Structure 1
Amino acid sequence: MARKRKADHETAIAGALELFWQKGYAGASTREIEEKTGLTRFTLQTAYGGKEKFFLETLDTYLDNAEARHFPDPARFTLDDLAEWFEGIASEEKIPRVQDAGCLAFNSISQFERTDPDVNARIERYLATLEDRFAAILLRAEEEGEVSLPLGAAASAQVLMGLLLGLHSVIKARTDDGMARSYAASAAGLLRSWRRAA
């Protein structure tokens, strides 16, 4: 019985991820949540505490998965790896369709307008973890003499965070993929420009 409940929960979260990713929190109606997840309105309220708490659980799943599977790895990433990671975000294989909403984490920043403390805490942790990984990769590259960073690793990581936020904004606002790819290529070009001349 416990195994079935876990399967039902995982199915519900998977359906919610797709729905919230496509429509965002505000754009997803309770009826659509029911249809996409198989949950009843009663179960949504009693098991999850309502739409917002269910969204938070879905967002937690999304963020944990992103950190585990998609964040750059400081232990093995080189400068080129990080540049390619930026390019990969706008690649044909990974870029969301124009009609889709884009990254759930970055969409949540704008949709909740920084007024929800529960969403804020999750997004701030997500961004801080990503920035720390950028800084660790750059610091190691600097210590190994691979790069020259006039601003230092920490400030350069903040620059990369700004570029990443901009890239996701371009992805969300675009009418075609070319603009996003050009932006990603520029971010990658900046990274490669930090390489110390041989």
Structure 2
Amino acid sequence: MPRQKSYDRQNAITKACNAFWEHGFQSLGVRELERLTGLNQFAIRSEFGGKEGLYLETLNYYCDAAISAEMAPMKQGGIPEIVSFFKGLVTPGSMTSSDYGCLIVNTGIENARIQSPRLENAVRSYWNTLEDHFLIALENEQAEQGEGAAFTPHILAASLVPAVMGIHAHNRSHRDQTAGRPLVDLICSILSGYRPL
């Protein structure tokens, strides 16, 4: 007879996401993870395939939420929607703003030491998705402006991704979700300059 679960799976993933986001992957021991999530070692192993499997679940949860809530408006928008996305990175209460930076940025930095192919794929997929959303919005903007557009969509889209990384890293290093605001203001000013008056 299968063992009955003593936890809510989605709630455990949400708690694990918050725990990893604050503490990182390597520094968070299994006992501390048990305390913070309500999961036990058996569940972590059998339900998620171990600590890395649980971490990957939290990355999927985090990415899906960011893509559906924060990136999605760029698909039908243009530069104003990109500006809105950037402002959200340093706005308290926004899903993409945190004193802990960005779970994906943190994972990429930490994985430089861990060298996990699965974590690398998750990180790369997220940044590719973000760049795709920037590109769609910029192509929408270019189509609206016609030949007068003063930017090249694919170059600008690729340039905006590392800017997002830097803003998140700055927020985390200062433990202040508004720390990256000067860079956000600069980027938003540049982007707004591409809009015709």
Q: Same fold (TM over 0.5)?
A: yes
Q: CA-atom RMSD, angstroms?
A: 2.3
Q: Which amino acid aligns with 1:187?
A: I
CA displacement, residues 78-101 of structure 1 (integer Å, 9 cap, x when unaligned): 31222122112101333323xxx2
Cα distance in 1, alignment partners of residues 106 and 13 from structure 2: 18
Please give the secondary structure, in 2, of the residue aligned with 1:112. helix
Counterpart position of 2:137: 137
Counterpart position of 2:13: 13
- Whether the aligned pair in 1 keeps the contact of 2:98 and 2:177 (CA below 8 Å) is no
Q: Give the length in aligned residue pairs.
A: 191
Structure 1 residues without counterparts, runs of 5 or longer:
none
Cα distance in 1, alignment partners of residues 33 and 182 from structure 2: 36
Counterpart position of 1:107: 106
The farther-off stretch of 125-134 and 67-76 is 67-76
Paired-residue identity, %: 26
- Whether the aligned pair in 2 keeps the contact of 1:72 and 1:85 (CA below 8 Å) is no
Cα distance in 1, alignment partners of residues 176 and 44 from structure 2: 37
Cα distance in 2, alignment partners of residues 165 and 194 from structure 1: 22
CA displacement, residues 159-185 of structure 1 (integer Å, 9 cap, x when unaligned): 111211111121122265664111111
Counterpart position of 1:148: 149
Counterpart position of 1:188: 188
Q: Which amino acid aligns with 2:16?
A: A
Structure 2 residues without counterparts, runs of 5 or longer:
none
Q: Does the alignment pair 1:89 with 2:83?
A: no
TM-score by length of 2: 0.87
- Whether the aligned pair in 1 keeps the contact of 2:86 and 2:188 (CA below 8 Å) is yes
Q: Which amino acid aligns with 1:96?
A: S
TM-score by length of 1: 0.86
